[in-house]
Amino acid sequence: MSSKKTKPAVKKPVAKKSALAPKSTPVADKDKTQVKQNKTISLLRGMKDFLPREEQYWLAVNHAAESASKAYGYRYMATPILEDASLFIRGVGRGTDIVEKEMYIFEDAEGKRIALRPETTASVARAYIEHGMHAVPQPVKVWNVGPIFRHDRPQAGRYRQFHQLNVDSLGERDAVVDAELIALAYNVMRDLGINTRVSVNSIGSAEDRERYLVELTGYFRTKRHALSEESKKRLLKNPLRILDSKEPEDQEVVAEAPKIIDWLSDESRKYFMRVLEYLDEMEIPYLPDPMLVRGLDYYCDTVFEFFVDEEVPENGKPLALGGGGRYDGLVEQLGGRPTPAAGFGLGIERIITAMRKQKEGQLPTSETEGSVSPLFFAHLGEQSRRRALKLIEQMRRDGVLVNHALAKGSLKAQLEIANRLNSTHAIILGQKEIQDGTVIIRDMASGIQEIIDEKQVSTHAKKILQGKA
């Protein structure tokens, strides 16, 4: 083994206080694993397995994301999960929580500092520059669903690996782009049965923010004694973030703080008004929220967040389903040409939680959630098992999905499974049917049976599925 390979793969985290410093080398970890071979290995803290019973939600979200993105003219683009760590340090900003405290960062075998992406906007901007996308017709409209990593304190709705639908439009500065992005996100969630409330605000241009920050910092300094410990730290590093605070003790001070909307230039104010007018035009319900700033350095003008409508948590603020905004300076900041852009990210896990809550009480059991079809194919004996396998395969090719339990021997055991899967019809194949070239179709509710030619099984099954048989 080369000496290089024995070096720690995880070291020198960017943040001084990062929790990611290794306690042992991977080699030592490997040894430990060998010693404790009999111990089970569990999921890492803050991670989540998507289980088969959640399949329908996962697929529904992905389907809604794809159809809405296509409907609005966005095209699929995927960037890698691993990026040069400096992309996020430069792009997202050193003072932001996700870079300073939450980024998974390690040194690879060549000594390069690599980050597991804590967001995708900087990656999209990097790809735009790297592939010379300024030269193709603008705007470049892209979407993607993929994993994001943040070493945050795990709690309800907060994972260390989660997934986002990200949608970005680069190359155009027009209020219609911002409004359309909000409408797209709103429609994805509406298609999934979630009523959302959209909070919108404008944080103006960099110059507007500079003037506003002087005022805001002055105000918070006079109230420093009343602020939470976290906000006292933010006062030094990024006072805007205090407006985002979820600490109960900060709420009163925040409510009285100067509002950025009063510090906007004429251009930014008009731009914001146009965004709101377009939202009215598209009948997207929104609430202006003068305290909404979002945490990342690259945002300017329009910022927005989505919440489940009427969800009022017991304490603090509700968790957002997603958020986004305009980031006109980012591409240039990363070395590209000046390129206006805007986008959003929706949290898939939180959307699924909202879908489950909405369906509460009428949720099927985990078994029925796994069912692929209301049809069940049952067999009697070894010879019919083979024939059943052939017929099931034929049905699949004909586009008819059917459940089975071919590994089970007894018909009783098979029909019990058919019941558990809420099957409406069983297709039964025994010795006699094989000889006759037929199958039995049993209506599970009434027990009424019908014998049909096995060549007709797909056609008949399709009629059952269409409710015509």
Length of the chain equals 469
d(CA 332, CA 94): 17
Binding-site string for ligand AMP from residue 379 to residue 418, where x marks contact by CB under 6 A and - marks none:
----------------------------------------
197 forms part of the interface with ligand AMP (CB under 6 A): no
Cβ of residue 275: shortest distance to ligand AMP, in angstroms? 18
48 forms part of the interface with ligand AMP (CB under 6 A): no
322 forms part of the interface with ligand AMP (CB under 6 A): yes
d(CA 48, CA 161): 7
- Residue with smaller CB distance to ligand AMP, 340 or 347: 347
d(CA 166, CA 66): 11
Q: Which strand ranges, in their side-by-side order, compose the sheet holding 82-84?
A: 82-84, 113-116, 104-107
| CA 95 from centroid of its chain's CA atoms | 25
152 forms part of the interface with ligand AMP (CB under 6 A): yes
Site for ligand AMP in 107-136 (CB under 6 A): 119
Task: Record the tokens describing residue 339, joined without a space.
Answer: 């390129």
Q: How far is CA 27 from CA 22, 34, 111, 235, 367, in A?
A: 12, 11, 17, 42, 42
Distant-in-sequence, close-in-space partners of 263: CB < 8 Å, separation ≥ 6: 204, 208, 209, 211, 212, 215
Given candidates 79, 144, 164, 199, which one binds ligand AMP under the rule CB under 6 A? 164
Rg (CA), the chain: 28
Number of Cβ within 10 Å of residue 338's Cβ equals 11
Cβ of residue 61: shortest distance to ligand AMP, in angstroms? 12
Cβ of residue 453: shortest distance to ligand AMP, in angstroms? 53
Count the residues of the shown chain that bind ligand AMP, applying the rule CB under 6 A.
Answer: 16
329 forms part of the interface with ligand AMP (CB under 6 A): no
Binding-site string for ligand AMP from residue 337 to residue 356, where x marks contact by CB under 6 A and - marks none:
--------x-x-xx------
162 forms part of the interface with ligand AMP (CB under 6 A): yes
Residue number closest to ligand AMP, CB atom = 347
Cβ of residue 355: shortest distance to ligand AMP, in angstroms? 13
Q: Which positions lie near ligand AMP, rule CB under 6 A? A: 119, 150, 152, 157-159, 162, 164, 320-323, 345, 347, 349-350
